[in-house]
Structure 1
Amino acid sequence: MSQTYTHNPRPIGGPISFAIKGDRLIVDSGRKVNEVRLGAVETVRMTYEPGRIGQRSFRTKVTMKDGKAFTFGSLHWRSLIEAQEMTTEYRAFAQSLCAAIARANPQARLVAGKPWWLWFSTAAVAILSLLATAYLIWQALRMGATGIALMGALLAMVGIWQIEPMVRLNKPRPFSSGALPDDLMPKAV
């Protein structure tokens, strides 16, 4: 039995198909077909990637021991402005792929979130930006510039709404092939 997944990762371009066949993964970009030995996988990294307004996007990156990598995401782009969330398909394929990789190479690392240095940098910039905005609001209120204080508060709320999930969901942590990080998977409907 083989598990497959097809999605269009960009608004412009063709779809990419993945098929798990035993200890191999067949990647078909339409122009080229590659066969990947799952035993040569070093790391699988699952992340949250900010999407368009109202859409959450998730990505899985598989890195081989030779440094080559491929990714697949939870969004299928139909046009420049329309993307479909591949909830069930992405969940099923990610689970099957991680299980196949764990069977082929039990030493493969399964990691959720961004690398520590990137996650820490994002968190630090977010905190500094929030503190700077709070200072702006405080100074505006002290000077009686209520309009500027309200604008600062609005910017702070939008910033928290956009940045908080990036920091919270992308915190680095290991996971097992039998327990993929549910917060880094599209929610089943």
Structure 2
Amino acid sequence: MQDAAPIAYAHRPKPFGYEVSYRLDPDALFVDTGRKQERIPYRSIVLARLAYAPTNFTTKGYRLTLLLADRRTLKIANLSWKTYFEFDRQDGGYAAFVRALLARAAAANPRLACRTGTPPVLWGLAAAAGALVVAGLIAMGLAATQRGGLTVALLVILFVAPLGWQVHAMVTRNWPGSFDPGAPPQRVMPAPG
């Protein structure tokens, strides 16, 4: 069965890099990096990992990492960088492309492993580091308050609130787990449409 129009997606993964374009052909993922073109058979995709990957306090970033049979990885994200400070969020196109890619990869490789978040060891280290930083800042704010440094305490509170929210989002959304390729969880995918 052949689609009337191929499903395609493009993004610029780095602020000053090339745009990478992808196309879902009937039997392979076509990748054009601007310097090289490649066809990756769907059956050679052995693992798909969806993760929440924000770039700052206000941006919801998502990433699909594919592990290929030859141990190479391919990363596709919903953010496309224009400059070092500007980017476009391509949530709808990314979500539709990822869902279609997962369906084709799972059909071609019934043993496709679908994971969410970060690997357990990295998740544990990130959760511990985030908790320690937030706890340290809270302790610093309390110490400043006890010494009469209300300005410092207020500045710490203004910084801890968004940092704590971001750490919470990273830890809860990137909880390690598995998923069905036909139903990726919303915590690691942008809303469709």
The percentage of aligned residue pairs carrying the same residue is 29
Aligned 8 A contact 1:23 1:101 in 2: no
Residue 92 of structure 1 is matched in structure 2 by: 96
Q: CA deviation at 1:154?
A: 2.1
Conserved? CA contact 2:57–2:163, under 8 Å? no
Q: Secondary structure at the match of 1:50?
A: coil
Contact 1:19–1:25 (8 Å) recurs in 2: yes
1:83 is aligned with what amino acid?
F
* Secondary structure in 2 matching 1:54: coil
1:110: how far off?
0.5
Q: Contact (CA 8 Å) 2:96, 2:192: kept in 1 or not? A: no
Alignment partner for residue 66 of structure 1, among 67, 70, 91? 70
**Alpha-carbon distance in 2 for matches of 1:62, 1:118:** 18
* Unaligned stretches of 5+ residues in structure 1: none
Distance 1:99 1:166 in 2: 26
Q: 1:123 aligns with which of 123, 127, 130?
A: 127
Deviations for 1:29-67, whole angstroms, at most 9, x for unmatched residues? 121111112112111011111224532111101001221
* 2:19 equivalent to 1:15: yes
Provide the aligned C-alpha RMSD in A: 1.7
Give unpaired runs (5+ residues) of structure 2: none
- Relative distance call for 1:16 and 1:59 in structure 2 (3 A) is same
Aligned residues: 189
- 2:190 aligns with 186
1:76-87 equivalent positions in 2, closer than 5 A? 76-87=80-91
In 2: Cα distance, 1:186 partner to 1:104 partner: 25
Work out the CA distance in 2 between the residues paired with 1:48 and 1:5: 19
Q: Distance in 2 between matches of 1:8 and 1:140?
A: 44
